[in-house]
A = this chain, B = another copy of it.
Amino acid sequence: MCQHRRMSNAKALPLLQPAVEPCCPPLTERPLTGEEAERAAAMFKALGDPVRLRLFSAVASHENGEACVCDISDVGVSQPTVSHHLKKLKEAGLLSSERRGTWVFYRVEPAVLATMGAVLTKAAAS
């Protein structure tokens, strides 16, 4: 079974700022170039699948912004599919992972998330 909660808070992650450079300017500032659009679209695309969005939300809403895979796997697809989607989110830079014993914990990258939000909200506020 899945009984890791005893160690879930045992070690806080270092959380060193990953120096995220913004993918692109706000969408209303000027038309995006091809390369800017390529980078930004990859992030939006990662959230553009219902299963991935549920997984991401499950991690983000979990305590300390991190969760064991076994805590969030109940989204109606098989275990390999869950693993596949978590890999995609990681490749997009939205999640990072760390192994702790038997379990693997996924954690949100807050800076990247803030960047994506600013790209949209600054656009809406114009």
Contact = CB atoms under 8 A, between A and B. Distances in A.
Interface of A: 27-32, 34, 37-38, 40-42, 44-54, 56-58, 60-61, 65, 72, 75-76, 108, 110-111, 113-114, 116-126
A120 B116 contact: yes
Contact of A37 (B29, B42, B54, B113): B54
B40 A53 contact: yes
Q: Which 9 A-B pairs have the closest CB atoms?
A: A45-B48, A117-B121, A117-B120, A114-B124, A44-B47, A48-B48, A113-B124, A37-B50, A31-B58
A40 to B, nearest CB: 6
Contacts of A121: 113-114, 117-118, 121
B47 A32 contact: no
A10 to B, nearest CB: 22
Nearest to A121: B117
B32 A57 contact: yes
